[in-house]
């Protein structure tokens, strides 16, 4: 009888293991939620940076600081133009205007893709409900088919 009082029964051991497994499962789902929330914050930040750079390019073009043709609407022709720079009109030394130091990548995209390939591009002429690329970059969006924590597709951000 004395030897039996010192150990655990099989039922007590199984209940303890089940409780630990339940707690570990809850912690893992919480960790997944934290990772997703972090990716969403990175996506918001990247979209904001690119959209502000596109707007700054448009303002510079409207102010006459960037050369453009008569049928050009003033938006950058590619995302690369924001980082590679464009010649400033009237600069004797050939100075360039830069709008981004580097193009941020979509945090939800495949890590092997270059940053330019991680974004969907909408031209000025395309319909907002059906964004398509064209001869300029009016807006960018995520190509991820997933949805956010709130249930809204990342593509619509």
Mind listing the pLDDT tens digit for each residue in 69-117?
Answer: 888 889 999 999 999 999 998 888 889 999 999 999 999 999 999 999 9
- Determine contact, residues 100/49, Cβ cutoff 8 Å: yes
**pLDDT tens per residue, range 2-34:** 555 667 788 888 888 888 888 877 777 788 888
Angstrom distance (rounded) from CA 115 to CA 50 = 12
Do the beta carbons of residue 85 and residue 53 sit within 8 Å?
no
- Nearest in space to 139 (alpha carbons), one of 63, 53, 70: 53
117-147 tens-digit pLDDT: 999 999 999 988 888 999 999 999 999 999 9
Domain borders along the chain are: 10-156
User: Which of 122, 138, 156 is closest to 44 using CA atoms?
Assistant: 156
The reported pTM is 0.79
Residue 68 has pLDDT above 90, yes or no: no
105 secondary structure, DSSP code = P
> What is residue 31's predicted lDDT score, i.e. its pLDDT?
80
pLDDT score of 4: 55
Distance, CA of 131 to CA of 121 (rounded, Å): 7
How many C-beta atoms surround the C-beta of residue 86 within 10 A? Answer: 20
- State the Cα–Cα distance between residues 79 and 114, nearest whole angstrom: 12
């Amino acid at each position: 009888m004395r030897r039996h009082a010192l150990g655990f029964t099989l039922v007590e051991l199984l209940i303890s293991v089940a409780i630990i497994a339940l707690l570990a499962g809850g912690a893992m789902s919480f960790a997944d939620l934290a990772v997703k929330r972090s990716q969403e914050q990175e996506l918001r930040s990247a979209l904001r940076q690119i959209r502000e750079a596109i707007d700054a390019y448009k303002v510079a073009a409207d102010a006459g600081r960037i050369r453009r043709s008569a049928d050009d609407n003033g938006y950058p022709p590619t995302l690369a133009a924001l980082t590679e720079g464009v010649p400033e009109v009237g600069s004797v030394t050939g100075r360039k205007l830069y709008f981004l130091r580097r193009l941020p990548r979509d945090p939800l995209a495949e890590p092997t893709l270059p940053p330019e390939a991680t974004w969907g591009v909408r031209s000025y002429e395309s319909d907002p409900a059906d964004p398509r690329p064209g001869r300029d970059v009016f807006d960018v969006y995520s190509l991820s088919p997933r949805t956010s924590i709130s249930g809204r597709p990342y593509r619509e951000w």
